[in-house]
A and B are shown apart, each in its own frame.
Chain A
Amino acid sequence: MSLDRDTVRKIAFLSRIEVADEKLEPLAGQLSGILDWFEQLKEVDTDGVQPMSSVTDAVLRWRDDVITDGGIPEKILANAPEAMDGFFTVPKVVE
């Protein structure tokens, strides 16, 4: 399985990480190497095996519908790189 420049560009965009053009090729090579290494998993017979997404077989616990949080806008905004009038701000989004 090998990965080309365009695929790296695409996943870089999906990941919102700017990758310089000259870095696409070396990254494609590195990631392809890792993908090749993953090929070994094909040897494992997993027919009928349920995918394991959690180590426990416990189920979700539920909490009560009670307001226990919020009311802390100054703490929510305290670490913001930029904020105005109680809002976070970002470059204007054109829809």
Chain B
Amino acid sequence: MSYIIKGETGDWELVIGLEVHAQVISNAKLFSGAATAFGADANTQVSFVDAGFPGMLPTINSVCVEQAVRTGLGLKAKINKRSVFARKNYFYADLPQGYQISQFDLPIVGEGEIILDLPDGTSRTVGIERLHLEQDAGKSVHDQHPSKSFIDLNRSGVALMEIVSKPDMRTPEEAGAYLRKLRAILRYLETCDGNMDEGSMRCDVNVSVRKAGEPYRTRCEIKNVNSVRFVMQAIEIEAKRHVEVYESGGDIVQETRLFDPNRGETRSMRSKEHAHDYRYFPDPDLLPLEFDDAFVEAIRVTLPELPDEKKARFVETYGMTGYDAGVLVMEKETAAYFEEAAKGRDGKQVANWLITTLFGGLNKKGLSITESPISPAQLGQLVDLVNDNTISGRLAKDVFEIMLEEGKDPAVIVEERGMKQVTDTGAIEAACDAVIAANPDKAQDVRDGKEKLIAWFIGQVMKATQGKANPGMLQEILKKKLLG
């Protein structure tokens, strides 16, 4: 999977790194006892600590520490048993203290990795540079008033994990796969809900280009790109801009940029960048964060089976392809649905139904797997009905559509509508005889060697039996009757 920009001066390769801010799932904030829930009225989930009032001091939430360690373990990363909180100093309307409590020199989690499953079936490892804990800022609302910005501090102080990748990605697709995989891991771990619409996962994209064999060139950071699709678009657009600048003899300056999906461009945020100097230093209100091996191990034993492991098991246990397994494990709810439906059945067959039929059906209705009107058991029963020849595969599709609408058990639907497959040899023979008798010319053509016409006869008999004739038996009987 190579992605090359063909320029006038030659081929350009992309270098991509992502910084993801993932909101930690916790009841209370990182350094205060205020709630974290999404969507509350302005400033109702704010303590004096979050609002940066004089004399207020931070105290750390144990669950946020656990969640960071848990995520680190899920990323197969080095856990730092001693880390330090530092202040990142800058002024902004939604940053009440005038600094963000973050981690700088010594983050809680060090190097790790994420394995990407690419659509062509290959996989690729992307390095994780670090994960650190930090506080979120509040929210500025700019469109409520002609001359004022409104400040809501509900989000101020909510715990974030900033997860920084190494510059290991080379295509927009890899960046997309990285985000989807990271999101899957976080959701499996239940450390972040991964909801990009509500801002609980936000992404900054670092992009540069280079020619083969060159060291890295200057990168630009595109801030707050908040969907997988936009991330991929922004990368493409930004990389093209770099190539154009270089090829017209210009130079790229390291800067922060904003992606405008409506205009399909990135533009400089120089105003916000102006004279930044964060003056990081250890927060004197907090002491070093320390824990022991036992703490880490106690978390490790509670880790769920993660997507990579689950995928390997699916391939191994059910004999499905890596790609299918990868699709099934992306959402843990899908994987759970599948395992439930596949219980005591042919997993490959169930997977096929799930991926090709159920996904499509749910998609059409705009439902998620957890909202599926067809329960895992019902999908399994449908597969059973096909396998024991109660219904044909073709009719099964119709049964499925009815299940999707009515949510009834497939057996009930088949019974109610008389969709049972006809396996009575006499009945099928009679139907065949009738069709042959009505079409003597075509029957003669078959006998003269036009064997392809048998399919036409099958269709006619099926029509006559409302699709209920067992397709295998039908074929056999027709052949015998026409060809002897």
A residues whose Cβ falls under 8 Å from a Cβ of B: 10, 13-14, 16, 53-54, 56, 58-73, 75-77, 84-95
Interface of B: prevailing SS? loop
B65: Cβ under 8 A from any A Cβ:
yes
**New contact pairs (15) apart from A70-B46, A84-B150, CB-CB < 8 Å:** A10-B275, A54-B282, A58-B287, A60-B288, A61-B59, A62-B62, A64-B63, A67-B34, A68-B33, A73-B43, A86-B43, A87-B151, A88-B153, A91-B147, A95-B142
**Nearest CB on A from B158, distance (A):** 12
- Tell whether, in the assembled complex, residue B42 and residue A73 are in contact, meaning their CB atoms are under 8 Å apart: yes
A–B Cβ pairs within 8 angstroms, 27 of them: A54-B282, A59-B287, A59-B289, A60-B289, A61-B59, A63-B59, A64-B61, A65-B26, A68-B33, A69-B33, A72-B46, A84-B150, A85-B42, A86-B44, A88-B153, A89-B145, A89-B149, A90-B151, A91-B148, A92-B142, A92-B145, A94-B142, A95-B142, A95-B258, A95-B269, A95-B271, A95-B272
Residues on A with C-beta less than 8 A from B42 are 73, 85-87
B284: Cβ under 8 A from any A Cβ:
yes
Leading 8 A-B pairs by shortest Cβ distance: A68-B33, A70-B34, A65-B63, A87-B150, A69-B33, A69-B47, A62-B62, A88-B151
- Tell whether, in the assembled complex, residue A86 and residue B41 are in contact, meaning their CB atoms are under 8 Å apart: yes
Q: How many residues of chain B have a CB within 8 Å of chain A?
A: 55
| CB closest chain-A residue, reference B89 | A14
Bound Cα distance A77, B53 (Å): 11
Residues on A with C-beta less than 8 A from B151 are 87-90
| CB closest chain-B residue, reference A10 | B275
- Tell whether, in the assembled complex, residue B287 and residue A84 are in contact, meaning their CB atoms are under 8 Å apart: no
- Contact partner of B275 (CB less than 8 A), chosen from A13, A60, A65, is A13
B196: Cβ under 8 A from any A Cβ:
no
Annotate B122-147 by CB proximity to A: 1 below 8 A, 0 otherwise: 00000000000000000011101111
